[in-house]
Structure 1
Amino acid sequence: MNQCIIIGAAPVKDLSVFREYNTSDAFVICADGGLDTALAAKIKPDLIIGDFDSMKATPPANVETVRLMKEKDDTDMLSAVKEGLHRGYRDFLLFGALGKRFDHSYANVCILQYISKMGGHGVIIEKNEKLFFMPGGRLHLRDMRGATASVYPFGAPNATVSYTGMKYPLTEDVMTSDVPIGTSNLIESDNATITVLGGNVIIYVLTEEK
């Protein structure tokens, strides 16, 4: 068990997304109202954490539970990530992280950067959607022909990026945070790549509905 799955309180539009991941072999943390989603998807959490302001279900008595104060600096999702890091996990999948409120969604994108800063790797996942934070390096997009990828500088005013296998290729192009030229590039190869040569980026990948 070397992966930590965190389920947040934002609605998960399609519970079948969990079938693509081995939740039984991961450490599952429910961040507050994420417990409702977990129970609906028949996923047993290993830990429940939050101030319980969005949870409708009663936490099961046999599951470790951490109740937080309502007035606090960290969001429930960040508290869940910190707990996972404290327990030694560095690979995080975040569900229920987008869509309920823009400020909460944006905060969860920021958490991807926090995970990276702490030496880990995180992905926000929805059905047919994934969000990655990259502080440099190369992302391989294998067998994703027909999907779209969007790339934006994040946490810095610009980023230097190269693409291969995309409809609109880039070679060491400098993207700036005020001009979103990285929106909706079509993946045309079964082994496309996005390489970040300088700065940080958020990468959003949207696959076709199956």
Structure 2
Amino acid sequence: MIINILAGGPVDHLPDLRHYMEDNAIWVGVDRGVFHLLKRNIKPDIAFGDFDSVSPEELLFIETEVAELKRFQPIKDETDMELALNWALAKKPKIIRLFGATGGRLDHLFANVQLLINPVKTNQSTDIFLIDRHNEVFLKAPGTYKIKKQADEKYISFVPLTLDVTNLTLEGFKYPLKNRHISLGSTLCISNELISDNGTFSFSEGILIVIRSHD
């Protein structure tokens, strides 16, 4: 199962959502993201939000088109995105993709990146990707991972989410590493590139943010 979640971030940051319309994909709208999905002729299976970012006319349109609508008060402990993501994680899908989660307010951006940590902390097998027009972001716990070269995402960066990432090794990269200790705040692993069709990265402690990007 794949769950695609669209939040209400700026539409000019969105990739072409038609590329993610697999037969087994469930679509989830978050707040104004519900309206953006409907305008693209994608009917979400479920929607979450306080809907304080849509007009009364847009909300009426949403209520008419979406069968399962979970409305919340604006004053609450979780963001609309966290509520939607918790619902998605409970379904135990193979993949969750987050769209509309970048651009606009920086507090929302940092919060959305940190939401990716939940399945990593609980050793859940679900892979979560935060995707916009120029970037794909995901987190990894200690281990060894293969990574494929993609022409449309030339640059690969590795950024510590924890205070330290230990024994980071990069193989098959333009700038290889061997058992390096990377501290929070280091820019050592920004803008690397694969030099072959496949590479590997590994580390023994910490949590790593992996960012695939293109200009």
Farther off after superposition, 133-142 or 158-167: 133-142
- Kindly state the Cα deviation for residue 60 of structure 1 after the two structures are TM-superposed: 3.7
CA RMSD of aligned residues (A): 1.9
Give deviations 1:99-147, integer Å, cap 9, x for gaps: 1111100100001001333413200011241001111223332132571
> What aligned pairs does 1:37-186 form with structure 2 within 5 A after superposition?
37-56=36-55, 57-58=58-59, 59-61=62-64, 62-89=66-93, 91-118=95-122, 119=124, 120-144=126-150, 147-154=154-161, 156-160=162-166, 161-186=168-193
Q: Which amino acid aligns with 2:137?
A: L
- Kindly state the Cα deviation for residue 14 of structure 1 after the two structures are TM-superposed: 5.8
- Kindly state the Cα deviation for residue 181 of structure 1 after the two structures are TM-superposed: 1.2
- Kindly state the Cα deviation for residue 21 of structure 1 after the two structures are TM-superposed: 1.3
**For the Cα contact (< 8 Å) 1:47–1:63, is it kept in 2?**
yes
TM-score, scaled to structure 2: 0.87
| Residue number among 178, 190, 211 corresponding to 1:204 in the alignment | 211
Partner of 1:29: 28
TM-score, scaled to structure 1: 0.89
Looking at structure 2, the residues matched to 139 and 54 of structure 1 have their Cα atoms a distance apart, in angstroms, of 40
**For the Cα contact (< 8 Å) 1:32–1:76, is it kept in 2?**
yes
Q: Which amino acid aligns with 2:214?
A: T
- Kindly state the Cα deviation for residue 178 of structure 1 after the two structures are TM-superposed: 2.2
Give deviations 1:2-60, integer Å, cap 9, x for gaps: 11111011123265521221255311111111112212322110011011112342214
Identity %: 29
Give deviations 1:166-191, integer Å, cap 9, x for gaps: 11101111110022211111222210
Gaps of 5+ in 1: none
Number of residue-to-residue matches in the alignment: 206
